[in-house]
């Protein structure tokens, strides 16, 4: 027996329900085609007859416009007059250039020079406006969409936007996205730079090990000579002691041999960490500045690493050899602790 679905007319109540569904989707989606698909899916699910495509297109356009107007108002409602002044100043021309176009241009590379440029950029962007409170309740996809829309517009198009809330909202989202991307880029630069420092330190350790291999062989030869002398003078301790002294004297003396041993021992256990300092030093000031620009949070309740960061920041310009041992170093490996202490 064949069954039939009862299909109701779209005009009998489907319109208001579809508007509500589309409005909800428009708060996160941007493409009108996606919103039309949402409307069709809802109508099919509720067994409504599908209207003409032009009807759905008009409905989606109207709802999308209304949702965007609401989002513009939501983003800009807490802006202070001083905030608005700084946003409008982004569209002003200074020395033949606008800050609006400057936001769109990003520095290059991860060299020391470019890390400083990116740090300067983040400090400048955050000095314009703290954007997070204004977009915290807006879907990330919409913030990205509004920022992309601002990037696609030139300065003349931005000035021609008649809706003031829309112009301000686009600028806030552009500024927020630029802050997020700059911060992410700086974190990536920092991680890449530290990985590079570790790699160079390991390579330097390998080179030093090659250089000290001959020294190690010499030390072993001296030790073998001492063993040989001990075997051949088993009963006479005085002769054994004098013979060992003579062997050591012939190879430069005990003090010289001890210095050579310390050189060999320092790089004998694959410990590259002491070698990082000379490679890190040129980046020290830039990385300290970066540590203050970025906001760090602990992924656990253990804040010992953040306490250590705050500790070294407070002593950044201290010249003394020793610092008070007032922080926990439990987060560091044994070798790191040995180096620090």
pLDDT in tens, 139-160: 998 999 999 999 999 999 999 9
Q: Is 48 helix (H, G, I), strand (E, B) or coil?
A: strand
- Tell me the per-residue pLDDT of 170-218, one tens digit each, with 9 for 90 and over: 999 999 999 999 998 888 888 888 899 999 989 988 887 777 777 777 7
Report the C-alpha gap between 251 and 222 in whole angstroms.
Answer: 8
249 part of a folded domain: no
Instruction: Give the residue from 131, 163, 191 where a domain finishes.
Output: 191
303 part of a folded domain: no
Query: Percentage of the chain surpassing pLDDT 70?
Result: 92
Evaluate if residue 2 carries a pLDDT over 50.
no
Report the C-alpha gap between 39 and 19 in whole angstroms.
Answer: 8
- Tell me the per-residue pLDDT of 301-323, one tens digit each, with 9 for 90 and over: 888 999 999 999 999 999 888 99
Residue in this structure with the two tokens 């100043």, named with its chain if needed? 89
Q: State which residues form the domain around 26.
A: 10-76
Q: How crowded is residue 43: how many other Cβ atoms within 10 Å of its Cβ?
A: 21
- Average pLDDT, integer, range 56-78: 88
For Cα atoms 175, 176, 180, give the angle at the middle one, nearest 5 degrees: 120
271 part of a folded domain: no
In degrees rounded to 5, what are phi and psi of residue 93?
-95, 125
55 part of a folded domain: yes
26 part of a folded domain: yes
Q: Is 53 in the same domain as 106?
A: no
Q: Is 64 in the same domain as 128?
A: no
Instruction: Give the residue from 140, 174, 191 where a domain finishes.
Output: 191
In degrees rounded to 5, what are phi and psi of residue 315?
-110, 20
Alpha-helical (H) ranges within 153-163 are: 155-160
Instruction: Give the residue from 27, 42, 76 where a domain finishes.
Output: 76
43 part of a folded domain: yes
113 part of a folded domain: yes
Q: Is 106 helix (H, G, I), strand (E, B) or coil?
A: coil
Residue 254 or residue 135, greater confidence = 135
Q: Is 105 in the same domain as 71?
A: no
pTM of the model: 0.70
How many structural domains does the chain have? 2
């Amino acid at each position: 027996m064949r069954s039939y679905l009862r299909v109701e007319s779209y005009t009998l109540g489907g319109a208001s329900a579809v508007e509500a569904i589309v409005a909800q989707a428009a708060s996160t989606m941007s493409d009108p085609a996606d919103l039309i698909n949402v409307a069709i899916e809802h109508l099919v699910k509720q067994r409504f007859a599908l209207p003409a495509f032009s009807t759905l297109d008009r409905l989606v356009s109207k709802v999308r416009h209304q949702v965007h107007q609401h989002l513009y108002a939501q983003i800009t409602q807490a802006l202070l007059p001083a905030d608005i002044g700084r946003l409008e100043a982004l569209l002003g021309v200074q020395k033949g250039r606008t800050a609006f176009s400057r936001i769109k241009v990003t520095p290059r590379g991860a060299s020391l020079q470019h890390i400083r440029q990116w740090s300067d950029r983040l400090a400048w962007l955050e000095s314009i406006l703290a954007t997070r409170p204004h977009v915290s309740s807006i879907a990330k996809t919409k913030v990205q969409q509004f920022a992309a829309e601002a990037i696609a517009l030139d300065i003349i198009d931005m000035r021609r936007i008649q809706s003031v809330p829309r112009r301000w909202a686009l600028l806030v989202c552009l500024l927020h996205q630029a802050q997020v991307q700059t911060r992410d880029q700086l974190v990536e630069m920092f991680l890449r730079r530290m990985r590079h420092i570790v790699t160079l330190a390991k390579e330097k350790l390998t080179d030093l090990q090659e250089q000290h291999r001959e020294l190690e062989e010499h030390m072993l030869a001296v030790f073998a000579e001492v063993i040989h002398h001990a075997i051949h003078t088993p009963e006479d301790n005085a002769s054994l002691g004098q013979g060992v002294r003579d062997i050591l004297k012939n190879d430069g003396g005990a003090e010289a041999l001890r210095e050579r041993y310390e050189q060999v021992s320092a790089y004998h256990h694959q410990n590259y960490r002491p070698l990082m300092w000379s490679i890190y030093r040129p980046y020290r000031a830039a990385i300290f500045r970066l540590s203050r620009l970025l906001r760090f949070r602990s992924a656990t309740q253990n804040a010992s690493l953040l306490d250590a960061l705050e500790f070294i920041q407070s002593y950044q310009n201290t010249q003394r050899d020793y610092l008070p041992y007032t922080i926990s170093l439990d987060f560091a490996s044994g070798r790191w602790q040995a180096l620090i202490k």
